[in-house]
Amino acid sequence: MRPRLIPVLLVKNKGLVKTMNFEDPSYVGDPRNALKIFNEKEVDELCILDISDNRSNDGPDFELIEEMVSEGFMPIAYGGGIRGLDDIKKLFKIGIEKVVLNTIIFEKPSIIKEAADIFGAQSIVISIDVKEIKGWFSKPKYTVMTASGKKKVKGDLLEIINEKISLGVGELLLNSIDQDGLRLGMNNELNKYVTDNVRIPVIACGGVGSFEHIKETIKETNVSAIAAGSFFVYHGKHRAVLITYPNQEELNILQ
């Protein structure tokens, strides 16, 4: 069974954007139109992450999410501004199948167990954003970042991940901040390090620029899914906006 291939739609102030190293979001279009195209191309599933500056205070943009869900018939995961169980319940009610929790799991760790007990661990995804610590180390060292890559979280990467997993998590979305948006390949040293040491499925994200990058990650790591943004919305070295998704013949190569 091949790993799933998941487009990630980054949303900021109702627009579809792309970032590089979690910075400088560039507007690339209407997320509703993008979702409509992905639906026509029969994607495996899709992830929407809202990075609007005020999202953590205002909560999810339920109106926009509902409009997007109405355009898609694939499983959709959503993350961004989730403040508690009431937001999660409302997201499931309007058609979201999985919630992606990031900042809140550090501010209120108990939300994981509370949500998993009510909605089931399979519907709870934690998103861990990772940055490599530069230095003369014998092995790579990593730090966990939160608040869209703006705040450091103290502690060891694996200890942090496994602590959250113990509370009842179905999947881990592992984001490489260093590779984000560059389209130069994934950080497979990080991906392998994590997949070899956690007991839940891992979705690797950050750096996909070609089909070869996807095949490399599948070959070198135990990821259960690969997520990407730029790979699905940009075409060519000049980053022309062209929303696309591999056809069935291309996907079969990943088996």
Catalytic residue ranges: 129
122, two tokens = 């399979």
**What beta strand segments (E) does the chain contain?**
4-12, 15-20, 23-29, 46-50, 76-79, 98-101, 124-133, 141-146, 151-153, 171-176, 202-205, 225-228, 234-235, 240-241
63, two tokens = 């109106």
Q: Which of 8, 21, 90 is nearest to 50 (CA)?
A: 8
Task: Give the span between the Cα atoms of 175 and 253, in whole angstroms.
Answer: 25
Quick check: 214 and 225 in contact, CB under 8 A? no
Task: Give the span between the Cα atoms of 79 and 88, in whole angstroms.
Answer: 10
130, two tokens = 């990772």
Task: Give the span between the Cα atoms of 233 and 44, in whole angstroms.
Answer: 16
